[in-house]
Amino acid sequence: MRLVFLGPPGSGKGTQAKNLAEKLGLEHLSTGDILRAEIERGSEIGIKAKTFMDAGALVPDKLILEMIKDILRKRANGFIFDGFPRTAPQAEGLDELLRGMGIQLNAVLYLSVGDEVLISRLLGRYYCPKCGLDYNLNSRPPKKAGLCDNCGEGLRQRSDDTEEVIRRRLEVYHQQTKAVEDYYRQKGLLIEINGAEPPDSVAAAILEAVA
Residues lying near ligand AMP in the complex (CB under 6 A) are found at 9, 31-32, 35, 52-53, 56-59, 64, 83-84, 86, 90, 160, 169
To ligand AMP, the closest distance from the beta carbon of 152 in angstroms equals 26
**Which residue has its beta carbon closest to ligand AMP?**
32
Which residue, 56 or 142, is less far from ligand AMP as judged by CB? 56
- Annotated active-site residue 169? The verdict is yes
Q: Quick count: other Cβ atoms within 10 Å of Cβ 3?
A: 24
**Of residues 158, 167, 168, 185, which has the active-site annotation?**
158
Residue 125 annotated among the catalytic residues of the structure: yes
Task: Give the end-to-end CA distance of the chain in Å, rounded to a whole number.
Answer: 11
From 125, 130, 143, 167, the catalytic residue: 125
Q: Pick the catalytic residue: 2, 36, 86, 121?
A: 86
Least gap, CB of 211 to ligand AMP (angstroms): 26
Q: Which residue lies nearer to ligand AMP by CB, 59 or 190?
A: 59
> Catalytic: 158?
yes
- Which long-range contacts (C-beta less than 8 Å, at least 24 apart) are formed by 201-205? 202/12, 202/16, 202/111, 203/16, 203/19, 203/20
Cβ at position 158, least distance to ligand AMP in Å: 8
From the candidates 2, 13, 36, 121, which is the catalytic residue? 13
The gap from C-alpha 11 to its chain's centroid, in whole angstroms, comes to 9
C-alpha to C-alpha distance for 40 and 58, rounded to whole angstroms = 18
CB of 29 to ligand AMP, least distance (A): 10
13 is catalytic: yes
Q: Closest CB to ligand AMP among 152 and 159? A: 159
Nearest 5°: CA angle at 26, between 81 and 161?
40
Distance between CA atoms of 180 and 173, rounded to whole angstroms? Answer: 10
- Residue 104 CB, shortest distance to ligand AMP, in Å, is 19
Compute the distance between CA of residue 27 and CA of residue 39 in angstroms, rounded to an integer: 21
Just list the catalytic residues: 13, 86, 125, 158, 169
